[in-house]
């Protein structure tokens, strides 16, 4: 035999009649192995893809159920949530750092702000809650009443005589509620809403005693 070029002579010698596969046969066999591998691998990939699809479906349904009854019919609760988050962020970014009151709406806002400030002031304690008329007079009432500013009865017995004649209760009432007279405007509680009735009364008593001579 002289065809020993395509087979290993030693192998042929050892196993008479049996030939090692020549390179072409070997190549075909390897291709068959690849095909099997590819088939199995494709099956695996397809299986994983199917499993992924199942997971997506389950997650989608869970999400939709989570937003059930919230009026969100889009089925995309997460998308809506993200949108809301974006909106809140944008709102925070463009929120005004200062407020300008303008027109009728502005006037309303201004009044509301003033009332809120007044309500806040009422919560506070004026002058440490003192019932010493002299302290409150010096700190607040004196600003007008020492000099007679704006028509306030000044710090003299002459100025106070006709006032005192009205009686203490009337003076206290006018000091608490405020009083618009011929001379000018006496602001309620001297303009400090945190003053209690007792504090105003004590101050009026102090003033009346001081200018009674």
**Under the rule (CB under 6 A), what is the footprint of ligand HEC?**
136, 140-141, 143-145, 150-153, 163, 166, 170-171, 174-175, 179, 181-187, 189-191, 195, 200, 203-204
Q: Nearest distance from residue 106's CB to ligand HEC, in Å?
A: 26
Least separation, in Å, of the C-beta of 192 and ligand HEC?
Answer: 7
DSSP H stretches of helix in 7-102: 9-14, 23-66, 77-94
CB of 145 to ligand HEC, least distance (A): 6
Query: Based on CB atoms, which residue is closest to ligand HEC, 47 or 150?
Result: 150
DSSP assigned state of 194: T
22/169 with CB nearer ligand HEC: 169
Please, what is the minimum distance in Å from the beta carbon of residue 141 to ligand HEC?
Answer: 3
Structure tokens at 81: 């949530």
Estimate the crossing angle of helix 197-210 against helix 157-164, to 10 degrees: 120
Closer of 113 and 183 to ligand HEC (Cβ): 183
Q: CB-side exposure of 45: number of CA atoms within 13 Å?
A: 6
Shortest gap between Cβ of 107 and ligand HEC (angstroms)? 23
Output the CA torsion sign for 123, 129, 131, 133: negative
Q: Which of 72, 181, 69, 124 is nearest to 173 (CA)?
A: 181
Closer to ligand HEC by CB, 27 or 183: give it: 183
Reduce the DSSP state of residue 20 to 3 states and report it. coil
* Contact assessment for residue 198 and residue 207, using Cβ atoms and an 8 Å cutoff: no
| DSSP structural state of residue 97 | S
Residue closest to ligand HEC when measured from CB atoms: 181
Closer residue to ligand HEC in complex, CB, 85/181: 181
* Residue (106 or 150) nearer to ligand HEC, CB: 150
């Amino acid at each position: 035999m002289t065809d020993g070029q395509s087979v290993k002579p030693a192998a042929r010698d050892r196993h008479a009649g049996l030939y090692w596969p020549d390179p072409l046969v070997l190549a075909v066999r390897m291709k068959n192995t690849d095909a099997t591998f590819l088939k199995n691998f494709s099956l695996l990939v397809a299986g994983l893809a199917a499993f992924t699809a199942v997971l997506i479906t389950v997650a989608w349904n869970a999400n939709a159920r989570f937003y059930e009854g919230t009026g969100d019919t889009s089925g995309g609760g997460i998308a809506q949530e993200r949108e809301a988050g974006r909106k809140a962020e944008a709102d925070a970014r463009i929120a005004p750092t200062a407020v300008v009151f303008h027109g009728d709406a502005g006037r309303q806002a201004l009044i509301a702000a003033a009332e809120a400030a007044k309500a806040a002031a009422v919560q506070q304690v004026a002058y440490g809650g003192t019932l010493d008329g002299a302290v409150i007079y010096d700190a607040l009432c004196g600003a007008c009443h020492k000099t007679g500013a704006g028509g306030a009865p000044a710090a003299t017995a002459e100025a106070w005589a006709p006032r005192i004649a009205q009686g203490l209760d009337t003076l206290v009432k006018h000091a608490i509620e405020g009083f618009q007279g011929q001379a000018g405007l006496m602001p309620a509680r001297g303009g400090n809403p945190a003053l209690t009735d007792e504090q105003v009364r004590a101050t009026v008593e102090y003033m009346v005693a001081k200018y009674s001579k």
